[in-house]
Structure 1
Amino acid sequence: MTSQTSARASPECEHNILRFESSTHAEEVGYRRPAAQQRAIAAGRTKKDADSWSDSSFPAPLVLPGDELSFDPRYPPQSLRSWLREKERNEVTKEKNALYVAGPPDTDTEIGFVRTWACPEADAKGVSVNATARPSHVAVANYLGAFYHGMRVKLLPSETLRFTSWIDDGSQPSKSRAESTKPKLIGLTTPKECIGIRTRVCPDKTFQRQLNLDDLLDVAISVLPDDAYALLMVVEHDLFEDEDDDFCCGRAYGGSRIAAVSMARYNPTLDEQQNVGREHAWPASHCDAYVQECCGATPRATKKARTRSNEPTTGPEELFQAAVSAHKPFFAPTSLSTNEQLSPSGLWLSRVCQTASHELGHCFGMDHCVYYACVMQGTASLAEDVRQPPYLCPVDLAKVLRATGAGERGRYEAILAFCEGHEGTPMFAVLGAWIRGILAESGPQGQSSTQGSKMGFRNMPVELSP
């Protein structure tokens, strides 16, 4: 994953013209969004349901320069039908119906220096102030319990995993103190074994060292509980997958039901260094002036854009406008809620939650989405990460409801309850506003909600595994 330049439409952008279709760059690189009828069929509906979801409720992928779809514009779509036929997909059963979340491993005193690897290099010599703002894996688990409503969510006991020294056959010669604090291997103990975790110097010097993602996922496989549908490891350290990449924020082996997410790069104090824009994070990423500027064009009104109406209306377009309105106060330069006053812990948590829900989506058998702007889109940079929405599009929502046995309205209400407990955080405040609009459209009795399967699973609070 590499960073990219983040465009800025203006010092005080009002986001008053929104774009719900893909950018002009999408056409240039050859991305062709499936037609409305194809999208309806992909979601398990019929051609007659082509107008079930307006583009202003569920916009198209933006496909800006440097985005994942700009590199692979013909990525094959995965419909509900093809998802059901996926051989690697695991069914949720009564025996395997729990989502486990493993928090960052503890660290033996003798290798306490490993803790400094999780701090940005500028803070590595002391106790990082940013460490106090690191998201709690318990909060991440609570979000996942709402996002995958209908699944049981459990915490892996904290004593299950622990970083320790890696000891080979005993023939290793003694090392200097400097060398001993930069080992190429450290151990990660489990109740049954100690697994070696490769480390390396961070290529871009943002952190001292990185841990190997594949080795961590080997650990995840070894501790996967018997009743687990999937297990997510949340780690503090920066990760790498192979020698060619700079870093990796997350990965899932869907067929093996394991995933890992790194919190390191989502630290808000690194935003400027990594060209992560906040003003045009979702949903303001659909600001037409911003989209045009990212594509190298002079911002101007287009036929594909939609202009804000000053008249009070309740149409689907206003649903998205409500989300943008909830976003603006957090980032308006004249607002009391400036970037400096935003809670770094809230921003950090929201980003980790979004990636965690994406990676677990792969454990449910979902591939990257090409139908809509969706949390299951692929991403090529941290800048693209924050531009994408945290919600599931209609196609991927149909898959999750089928897998979990939950109802659409109940799931939205569960996520909304979480968001209302975190309204000081931009993404959660905005997602809450968007969900309220969706629920209002469905009516007080939830007439349009999808009924769950007959498995009878119910959403449960996060519990500590014995």
Structure 2
Amino acid sequence: MSSCDHELLFTASSIHAKTVGYKDPTPKQLLAAAHPSGRAPKHQEPPSDSTFPAPLVLPGDDLALDPEYEPQSLKSWINEPHRNEVTVRRRALYVVPVPAVSKTVAFVDAWARPGKEHAKSSIDSPKADDVVQYLQAFYHGLPVKLLSKPRLQFMSWNETPQEDPETGRKYIGLNIGSQIIGIRSRPSKDKVFSGQLNLNDLLDAAMTMLPKDAYALLMLVDHDLYEDEEDDFCCGRAYGGSRVSVVSTARYNPALDDAQEVEREHPWPASHCRDYVDMCCQEAHEAPMKLAMKPTSPDSSPLGEAVSAFQSLPVPTAAAEFRNLWLGRLCKTASHELGHCFGMDHCVYYACIMQGTTGLTEDAGQPPYLCPVDLAKVLTATGSDEATWARSMLKFCERFSNDRMFIAFAAWLKGRLLEIEGIDA
């Protein structure tokens, strides 16, 4: 079991949020944001903060760096002129499995594994089929398909020099069946991996192979990615208007957690642990800080049940446990990046899978669920309803009863379903 018992939970924004200027939305603003009219219904309260907590806004978090990020309500999402509508002819979501590597560029295969000075991983990266099934639940109501033919393959790129002598940048070809597309690459800046592929080039390739009936496409890669020259790495990105996204498995490898300072005691839902929130805020401020709100003990609320379920399993140490931990991390990012293809911006209303993130620690601390505002957007696009969505997600999560995130998500979903049934009664 973990050394922290998560005895007390925070469901509000941290005291650091106040110091950087983040302003919590009022209950009326939260209700209005989730209503298509943009007005708060009378005689109605937003869901409990023990179901949908506020964003934590810890030091270094995305909202801490940009506390005035413009919110996107359901109404503004509906009225967004560049948002792509789901149509009868264009409604399928496609997942492209990790490309193969040809013998002509065998060195690229090694780039998908951590460098010599880092821990080696004996487990395989997550399977595309599992990601497809997760997304089938998450975007319930839309078909999610594996685009396995033609099988993508990295190969030599002969139209430009193989290596730039000044930058060390190599050009790799990606065969997508109809053509071979050049993908820039470079040595990894932080040397966690020996090489990285350019994210923007992969997104361009995704656009080229977008099927006619596709609403959106997600490409999976095992290689580390970079977007701009100043980046150390990037785990994923979407060209939302173009309906394509790319997500890398590389940095989510649990074998790299120590090297990347990703601790396993306080991912969601334990990210709401009072002691953890307190520690993060104290470390960022020289003077002692007074906690903003009295924390609550875990209870029978969805968040409380999620923390109890999380605590029921030990910190993962076995290969099978690492495999599911890796899958959970990847699924969260896959659902987030596809969310951008649905026209959703980063969330500022609640702790939510659509929050922006500045790194792996914040990524791990964010929940896998959609908040009331963003769930309303997805349900509008897919034609599903919240209870059906929750049951679909629950069925998937219960397959992974030995993983802390999935079992916690299952407990949260059960609690939320009880709330929904109470509202409908």
Give the TM-score range, shorter chain: over 0.9
CA shift, 1:210, in A, is 0.1
Asked if residue 369 in structure 1 is aligned to residue 376 in structure 2, the reply is no
TM-aligned CA distance change 1:123 to 1:164, over 3 Å? farther
Kindly report which structure 2 residues correspond to 1:147-158, keeping only aligned pairs within 5 A, or say none: 147-158=138-149
TM-aligned CA distance change 1:341 to 1:239, over 3 Å? closer
Aligned to 2:188: 202
Q: Write out per-residue CA displacement over residues 134-173 of structure 1, whole angstroms, 9 at most, x where no aligned residue.
A: 100111111001000001011112434111101027xx5x
Aligned to 2:108: 114
Aligned to 1:256: 242
Asked if residue 320 in structure 1 is aligned to residue 303 in structure 2, the reply is yes
Q: Equivalent of 1:306, from 281, 293, 296?
A: 296
Aligned to 1:12: 3
TM-aligned CA distance change 1:185 to 1:393, over 3 Å? same
The answer to whether the 8 A contact 1:330-1:339 is kept is no
Q: Equivalent of 1:295, from 267, 270, 281?
A: 281
Aligned to 1:28: 19
SS at match of 2:144: strand
The answer to whether the 8 A contact 2:281-2:289 is kept is no
Q: Which stretches in structure 2 are left out of the alignment for 5+ residues?
A: none
Asked if residue 103 in structure 1 is aligned to residue 103 in structure 2, the reply is no
Aligned to 2:377: 399
The answer to whether the 8 A contact 2:238-2:338 is kept is yes
CA shift, 1:77, in A, is 0.3
Aligned to 1:224: 210
Q: Which stretches in structure 1 are left out of the alignment for 5+ residues?
A: 1-10, 332-336, 449-466
Kindly report which structure 2 residues correspond to 1:29-428, keeping only aligned pairs within 5 A, or say none: 29-44=20-35, 46-48=40-42, 50-122=44-116, 130=121, 132-168=123-159, 184-296=170-282, 303-308=293-298, 314=300, 318-331=301-314, 339-340=317-318, 343-428=321-406
TM-aligned CA distance change 1:218 to 1:372, over 3 Å? same
CA shift, 1:93, in A, is 0.5
The answer to whether the 8 A contact 1:290-1:299 is kept is no
Cα distance in 2 between the residues matched to 1:28 and 1:388? 21
Normalised by the length of structure 2, the TM-score is: 0.92
CA shift, 1:341, in A, is 6.8
Q: Write out per-residue CA displacement over residues 161-212 of structure 1, whole angstroms, 9 at most, x where no aligned residue.
A: 111101027xx5x99xxx9xx7610100122211100000000000000000
The answer to whether the 8 A contact 1:106-1:158 is kept is no
The answer to whether the 8 A contact 1:164-1:186 is kept is yes
Aligned to 1:430: 408
The answer to whether the 8 A contact 1:37-1:48 is kept is no
Normalised by the length of structure 1, the TM-score is: 0.85
The runs of at least 4 consecutive aligned structure 1 residues that moved more than 4 Å come to: 297-302
Which is worse superposed, 132-141 or 365-374? 132-141
SS at match of 1:398: helix
Q: CA RMSD in A?
A: 2.3
Aligned to 2:424: 447
Across the two proteins, how many residue pairs are aligned to each other? 415
The answer to whether the 8 A contact 2:100-2:151 is kept is no
Amino acid of the structure 2 residue aligned with 1:278: R
Cα distance in 2 between the residues matched to 1:14 and 1:129? 30
- Identity level (%): 51
Cα distance in 2 between the residues matched to 1:341 and 1:108? 28
Cα distance in 2 between the residues matched to 1:49 and 1:112? 64
